[in-house]
Amino acid sequence: MGRHDKEVLDGSGLDRRRIGYYATPDFVASYVAERLLSVNPSGHMVFDPCVGGGEMVAPFVEAGKTVVGMDIHDYQRLQGIEFVQEDFLRYFRRARESGSMPLPYDYFTANPPYNCHESDYIRQHKSTLTHLFSGVGVLNMYSMFLAAMIQLAKPGAAIGVIINDSFLTSKLHRGLRELVLKYCRLHDLILCPTDLFRKQEADVRTCIMVLERLGRDAQTMDSMVRTQQRPSRTSELRLQLDQGKMDTRPLRDLVLSGGSDQKELVVGCPETVMRLFSMPRLGDYYPCVTGISTGCDARFVSSEPQQGFSVPFYKNPGSRRFFSPPDGYLPNDFLELSEQIPNFTVRNKRHLFSEGIACSSMGVAFGACYRPEGSVFGVNANLAGCGPDLWWLLAYLNSSLVTYLVRGVLLRSNMITSGYVSRIPLLPLTEQAKDQLSQLAVRGYRQARKKGTADTAVSGGINALVYREAGLYQTDIDHIERFCSDVVRRT
C-alpha cells in the first residue's frame, strides 16, 4: 500500500492511517449487507470484529438488527452498536481454547485492517499465531481475520468482507484459499478498483467477497458465483453494484486446479482462456530457473565492463521487451566468490552462460528479452535450454495473451518468480506459426536494440498469430486487449 507521512486523525485523536484505518465507502457497506441478507434472510445477529466507526455495520443498524462490534481501539462510533474493546485475534484464541465456537451470529461483516505495522504485531505474537493459524499461515492481519471469521461462524452464517485481494493468487495464501473453498460456499467475488481508498491516501487492491459457512455439505464446483473483473474507477464499481450488473459463473471457472496449480481464484477470465490452463505448461518443456544473488550488488556488480568484471549479468528486464542490455557485469571469479561468501548464492549453475530468455520480475508489466550466450542471470525467471524454439518462445512471451495469463490469472501481486512463468500454458502452435513468430521476434529484437522498442506492427503481428492459434473469440480478444491497455489498474 502506498503511504504518505501525514497523520489522519479520528475525532477521538487516533491517527487512523497509523493503525490501518481505511473507512469502507457506504455504497460498498450497503451492497455487502444486502447480499448477506439475501444469503441468510432470517438472521438477527451481526458481528464486526474490527468495527471502527461502524461503517460496515451501518446498514444492519438501520435494519434493526442486533449488532456487536469489536475493535482494538475505541473510536467515535455510530449509535446502536454493542461495543467490545478487544484484540480480535486474541478473542479468537480464547474462543478456540474454551471451546466456545461456533459463535451464534448470523452475519459476519468486516473490512479487516491493512495495517502497515502488522509485521510488528505478527513478530510480537509469532509463536501463538503460528499455532493458531497453522494451516493458513501468519502472513497478514487480513488473512488471519478472514480465517478466524470462517472458523468462528456457524453453519448457515453469511460472511461479507472487503479485503486485500493478494490472497486470491499468492502462492503463500494457498491455505487460506483452501479454507474458503472447503468450509464456505462462495457467493460473490468482485474486484474493486485501485482508487477505492485513494481519497484516504491508500493505494490497495481489494475485493468484495460474500461467503456462506457450510455445515456438512461440501461446496460444489457447479455452484454459481457473482463475479466481476476489476473496474478502472470507483464510479464504475458503484454502477455495477447499484445495477447488480455482474457476471455469474460456476465456481469451476474460477479455480485453477491443474497439477501444478495452487487453487488460485481467478476473476473475470473468459472460459476459452481458462481452458488454456488444461494444456501443457512452459515448465514441462523448458527449464524455468533463477540464478545468481550476489547479496551485495553495490560491491559485486559493475555497471560497465572493466578489468576483472566482464561477465554480462541480466537481473530484470523490467518493462523492456525483446532486447535488453546487461544490467551490469559480474567479477570473472564470481563462482569462486560464491564459495567463500555466505550470502553470494549461485543456483542452476549448469544453465549459466547458455543463451536463453530473461523475464521481468518486478513491476506490473510482464516482458521477456533475449539473453545471449556467455551471459548469466539473476533471481528473475529465466528460460534456458530453448534450443531452436528460442525465438518463437520470445515472441509468445511478449504477446498480450501471455501478459493476460500472467497478470490477469496467475498472479495479481507483483513478483513474478520462475515458478509462475513455468506455469504459463504452452499453446500447441503449428510449425508455420512458430516460423512466423520467430521472424517477428527477430525483427522486434533488432528494432528494440536499435531504438529501444519494437514497432507496434511486430506486437500486432504476434498478437494476431497467437490469438488465432489459441482459437479465441473476438469478445475474448477484446477483453484481453482492454486488460493489457490498462494493466496497472486492472491487475
Ligand X SMILES: C[S@@+](CC[C@H](N)C(=O)[O-])C[C@H]1O[C@@H](n2cnc3c(N)ncnc32)[C@H](O)[C@@H]1O
Task: Note the residues at the interface with ligand X (CB under 6 A).
Answer: 19-24, 49-52, 55-56, 70-73, 87-89, 111, 113, 115
Which is nearer to ligand X, 52 or 356 (by Cβ)?
A: 52
Give the span between the Cα atoms of 441 and 169, in whole angstroms: 30
Q: How far is the CB of 226 from ligand X (least distance, A)?
A: 21
Query: Taking Cα atoms as reference points, which of 360, 334, 362, 365 lies closest to residue 349?
Result: 334
Angle between the N-to-C axes of helices 456-470 and 390-397, in degrees from 0 to 180, rounded to the nearest 10 = 90
Nearer to ligand X, 162 or 265 (CB): 162
Hey, what's the cell of 56?
460496515
Q: How far is CA 244 from the centre of its chain?
A: 25
Q: 12 vs 310, which CB is nearer to ligand X? A: 12
Look up residue 362 and give its DSSP letter.
S
Q: Which is nearer to ligand X, 23 or 464 (CB)?
A: 23
Minimal distance in Å, beta carbon 194 to ligand X? 16
CB closer to ligand X, 32 vs 211: 32
DSSP 428-457: ---HHHHHHHHHHHHHHHHHHHHHSS--HH
Closest to ligand X by CB, 23 or 279:
23
Smallest gap from Cβ 212 to ligand X, in A, equals 21
**Buried b / exposed e along 176-195 (16+ C-beta atoms within 10 A):** bbebbbebbbbbbbbbbbbe
Smaller CB separation from ligand X, 52 or 287? 52
Question: Least distance to ligand X from the beta carbon of 56, Å?
Answer: 4
Nearer of residues 133 and 344 to ligand X, judged by Cβ: 133
Q: Which three cell numbers stand for residue 262?
A: 495452487
- Report in angstroms how near the CB of residue 113 gets to ligand X at its nearest: 4
CA distances from residue 300 to 22, 78, 348 in whole angstroms, order as listed: 43, 58, 19
For residue 21, the minimal CB distance to ligand X (Å) is 4
Residue 263 belongs to what H/E stretch? none
Closer of 70 and 470 to ligand X (Cβ): 70
CB 102 to ligand X: min, Å = 19
Whether the CB-CB separation of 153 and 105 falls below 8 Å is answered with yes
Would you tell me how many other CB atoms lie within 10 Å of the CB of residue 312? 18
Pairing of strands 368-371, 356-359: antiparallel
CB of 93 to ligand X, least distance (A): 11
Q: Which residues pair with 368 in a beta bridge?
A: 359
Nearer to ligand X, 73 or 96 (CB): 73
Q: Which lies closer to ligand X via its Cβ, residue 12 or residue 38?
A: 12
Strands 206-213, 382-383: pairing kind: unpaired
What is the smallest separation between the CB atom of 118 and ligand X, expressed in angstroms? 8
Q: Give first-to-last CA distance, the chain, whole Å.
A: 15
Q: How far is the CB of 135 from ligand X (least distance, A)?
A: 20
DSSP class of residue 214? -
The minimum distance between CB 87 and ligand X, in angstroms, equals: 4
Rounded to whole angstroms, how far apart are CA atoms 107 and 295? Answer: 49
| Least Cβ distance, residue 88 to ligand X (angstroms) | 4
Burial 411-423 (b: 16+ CB within 10 A, else e): bbbeebbbbbbbb
Instruction: Express the helix, strand and coil content of the chain in percent, nearest 5 each.
Output: 40, 20, 40
- Grid coordinates of 199: 481519497
If the CB atoms of residues 87 and 253 are measured against ligand X, the closer one turns out to be: 87
Q: Are 275 and 333 in contact (CB under 8 A)?
A: no
